[in-house]
C-alpha cells in the first residue's frame, strides 16, 4: 500500500523562523519515506487545500529545503483565513476531505498561532466526525508568544532579539545627541494583546540609565499623568528618555489609544501609529524634541538578526510534529518545555490541542514592575535565554541571501472550482 501523503500549511502572520519549522517537517518526513509519501504544501496556507492548489515540496532540492532554515517569511505563502465550525460551514470541511482523499493525504501539519490551533483542532476531529482518517498536528508559531501550554513560541525569540538590539542601538544614538537635540525616542513594537515583545525591549537595559527607560504594555491601562512624570524624570536624570510602546496600548476605557478618533492639527484623522501619538503628547506637554520609529514587519522578518535558540526551537517543533504523527498521535502540538533557566535547558514536549486553541497567554503581572512601566527580574530571567546566540543567514553581494522555492503545483485531480 502506498504510504499516505502529508499536507503542510503556514497560517497567519509569518515570522523570521516559520520556514525553519517547514524545514524540520520536510526534512524529517523525507527520512521516513516508507511511512510518509509526499509532503504537499498549501499555496497560501489552508486556502491551498480548499482550492486544491497544492505545492509538491518533493520537487525541491535537499539544498533548497535546508536553506529554508535561514529564510524568513512564508515560503509557500500564508493566509489569514479561519475555518468556521463544522456546524456553520460543513461544506468547507467536506471540501477539505475531498481534496485530501484525492491526494491520499493522511497527515495534516498546520503551522500557526492561536486561531490556527483552533482550525487544526477542527481538522483533527474530521476523523471522528466525518469518518475521514487523518492525523492533525499543530506546529506552534507566533511572534506574539501568546500560545498556552508551551514555554515560548517559535518566532518570538527572534523578534525579541531584534527589538532589544534595535532599542539598545537607538538608545545609544539618542544618548549621543540629547544635549542639544532629540531627548525622547519612542519605538513602537507589535503585540496587540500581550506585552511580550514590549517586554523584550527591556533586555536592552543592563545598567541604570540604559534605554529603554519606560515600557508601555497593552496589559496596563495608559496613565497619562504618571507617564509624563516618568518621562520628565528620566530626561532630568539621564538626559534622555527611550520608550518602548506596544501597538496595543489601551486607555483606562479599554480602547486602543490609536482608536480614539484623534485628529491632527489640520483636522485629518490620526494616521495610525501609537508611537507618533505618544511622541506628540510628550512634545505638547513637556516640550522635548522627539524621534519615533515603527518597526512593523521589519521586526518579524528580521532573519538577519535571528536568535539561534529560536531557530533551533522552530526546527525542532517541525521535526517533532512529524515524529508525533508517525507515533499515531492526533490533535496535539509539540511544545517547548523549559527544564532550567541557568544554564538554559529545554526539551520538546507535547500539548493537547483542546488546551491550546483560542486561548491567549498574557504576561504574568509579576513580569511587569509595580509601577507598570518596566520589567521585573523574573521576566528578565524568562526572556534572556530566548534571544541567545546568533544564527546568521548566508550573504551575497552584501545582502542576506534567501531561498525562493520553485513551488511546483501538484496536478489537480478534482473538477470544478471551490468558492472560498
Site for a copy of itself in 390-409 (CB under 8 A): 390, 392, 395, 397-400, 402
With binding defined as CB under 8 A, does residue 289 bind a copy of itself? yes
Subset of residues 5 to 34 that bind a copy of itself, contact rule: CB under 8 A: 10, 13-14, 16
With binding defined as CB under 8 A, does residue 276 bind a copy of itself? yes
With binding defined as CB under 8 A, does residue 381 bind a copy of itself? no
Q: Which CB sits closer to a copy of itself, 320 or 410?
A: 410
C-alpha cell at 43: 499555496
Among 181, 233, 358, 366, binds a copy of itself (CB under 8 A): 181
- DSSP letter for each residue of 379-395: HHHHHGGGG-SB-PPPE
Among 23, 39, 47, 317, binds a copy of itself (CB under 8 A): 47
Strands 241-246, 184-189: parallel, antiparallel or unpaired by DSSP?
parallel
Distance, CA of 144 to CA of 140 (rounded, Å) = 11
144 as an active site residue: the answer is yes
- Chain position carrying cell 539621564: 238
Among 136, 170, 317, 363, binds a copy of itself (CB under 8 A): 170
Positive or negative: CA dihedral 192, 228, 232, 287: positive
With binding defined as CB under 8 A, does residue 264 bind a copy of itself? yes
Q: Which CB sits closer to a copy of itself, 176 or 365?
A: 176
Query: Nearest Cα to 28, choosing from 334, 318, 311?
Result: 318
CB of 207 to a copy of itself, least distance (A): 8
CB of 1 to a copy of itself, least distance (A): 35
What is the x/- site pattern for a copy of itself, positions 303-332, by CB under 8 A? xxx-x-------------------------
With binding defined as CB under 8 A, does residue 42 bind a copy of itself? no
CB of 294 to a copy of itself, least distance (A): 5
With binding defined as CB under 8 A, does residue 139 bind a copy of itself? no
Q: Which CB sits closer to a copy of itself, 90 or 404?
A: 404
Spatial contact of 405 and 64, defined as CB atoms under 8 Å apart:
yes
Query: Nearest Cα to 202, choosing from 318, 321, 376, 322?
Result: 376
Distance, CA of 292 to CA of 187 (rounded, Å) = 6
With binding defined as CB under 8 A, does residue 80 bind a copy of itself? yes
Radius of gyration of the chain (CA): 23
Distance, CA of 399 to CA of 394 (rounded, Å) = 8
Please identify, among the stretches 161-169, 212-220, 249-257, 331-339, the one whose residues bind a copy of itself according to the rule CB under 8 A. 161-169
Please identify, among the stretches 219-227, 272-280, 322-330, 332-340, the one whose residues bind a copy of itself according to the rule CB under 8 A. 272-280
Which 3 state secondary structure label does DSSP give 9? strand
Spatial contact of 301 and 73, defined as CB atoms under 8 Å apart:
yes
C-alpha cell at 204: 536592552
Among 292, 324, 346, 367, binds a copy of itself (CB under 8 A): 292
Question: Which spans in 179-270 are helix H?
Answer: 196-201, 224-238
Which among 144, 146, 310, 391 is annotated as catalytic?
144
Distance, CA of 348 to CA of 327 (rounded, Å) = 15
Q: Which CB sits closer to a copy of itself, 181 or 358?
A: 181
Question: What amino acid positions are annotated as catalytic residues?
Answer: 144
Amino acid at each position: 500500500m502506498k504510504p499516505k501523503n502529508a499536507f503542510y500549511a503556514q497560517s497567519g502572520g509569518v515570522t523570521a523562523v516559520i520556514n525553519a519549522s517547514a524545514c524540520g517537517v520536510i526534512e524529517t518526513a523525507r527520512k521516513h519515506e516508507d511511512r510518509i509519501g509526499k509532503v504537499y504544501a498549501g499555496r497560501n496556507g489552508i486556502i491551498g487545500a480548499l482550492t486544491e492548489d497544492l505545492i509538491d515540496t518533493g520537487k525541491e532540492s535537499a539544498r533548497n529545503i535546508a536553506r529554508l532554515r535561514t529564510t524568513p517569511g512564508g515560503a509557500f505563502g500564508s493566509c489569514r483565513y479561519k475555518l468556521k465550525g463544522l456546524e456553520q460551514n460543513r461544506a468547507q470541511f467536506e471540501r477539505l476531505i475531498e481534496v485530501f482523499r484525492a491526494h491520499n493525504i493522511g497527515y495534516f501539519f498546520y503551522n500557526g498561532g492561536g486561531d490556527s490551533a483552533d482550525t487544526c483542532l477542527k481538522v483533527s476531529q474530521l476523523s471522528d466526525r466525518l469518518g475521514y482518517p487523518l492525523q492533525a498536528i499543530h506546529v506552534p508559531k507566533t511572534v506574539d508568544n501568546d500560545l498556552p501550554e508551551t514555554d515560548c513560541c517559535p518566532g518570538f525569540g527572534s523578534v525579541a532579539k531584534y527589538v532589544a538590539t534595535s532599542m539598545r542601538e537607538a538608545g545609544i544614538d539618542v544618548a549621543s545627541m540629547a544635549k542639544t537635540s532629540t531627548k525622547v525616542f519612542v519605538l513602537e513594537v507589535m503585540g496587540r494583546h500581550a506585552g511580550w515583545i514590549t517586554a523584550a525591549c527591556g533586555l536592552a537595559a543592563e545598567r541604570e540609565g540604559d534605554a529603554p527607560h519606560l515600557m508601555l504594555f497593552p496589559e496596563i491601562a495608559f496613565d497619562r499623568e504618571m507617564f509624563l512624570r516618568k518621562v520628565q524624570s528620566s530626561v532630568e536624570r539621564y538626559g534622555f528618555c527611550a520608550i518602548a510602546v506596544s501597538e496595543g496600548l489601551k486607555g483606562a476605557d479599554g480602547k486602543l489609544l490609536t482608536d480614539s478618533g484623534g485628529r491632527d492639527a489640520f483636522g485629518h484623522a490620526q494616521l495610525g501609529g501609537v508611537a507618533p501619538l505618544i511622541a506628540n503628547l510628550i512634545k505638547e506637554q513637556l516640550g522635548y524634541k522627539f524621534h519615533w520609529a515603527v518597526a512593523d514587519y521589519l521586526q518579524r522578518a528580521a532573519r538577519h538578526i535571528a536568535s539561534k535558540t529560536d531557530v533551533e526551537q522552530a526546527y525542532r517543533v517541525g521535526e517533532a510534529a512529524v515524529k508525533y504523527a508517525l507515533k499515531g498521535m492526533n490533535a496535539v502540538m509539540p511544545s517547548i518545555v523549559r527544564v532550567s533557566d541557568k544554564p538554559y535547558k529545554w526539551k520538546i514536549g507535547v500539548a493537547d490541542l483542546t488546551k491550546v486553541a483560542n486561548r491567549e497567554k498574557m504576561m504574568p503581572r509579576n513580569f511587569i514592575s509595580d509601577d507598570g512601566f518596566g520589567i521585573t527580574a523574573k521576566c528578565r530571567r524568562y526572556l534572556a535565554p530566548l534571544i541567545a546566540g546568533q544564527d546568521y543567514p548566508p550573504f551575497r553581494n552584501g545582502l542576506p541571501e534567501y531561498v525562493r522555492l520553485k513551488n511546483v503545483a501538484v496536478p489537480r485531480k478534482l473538477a470544478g472550482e471551490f468558492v472560498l
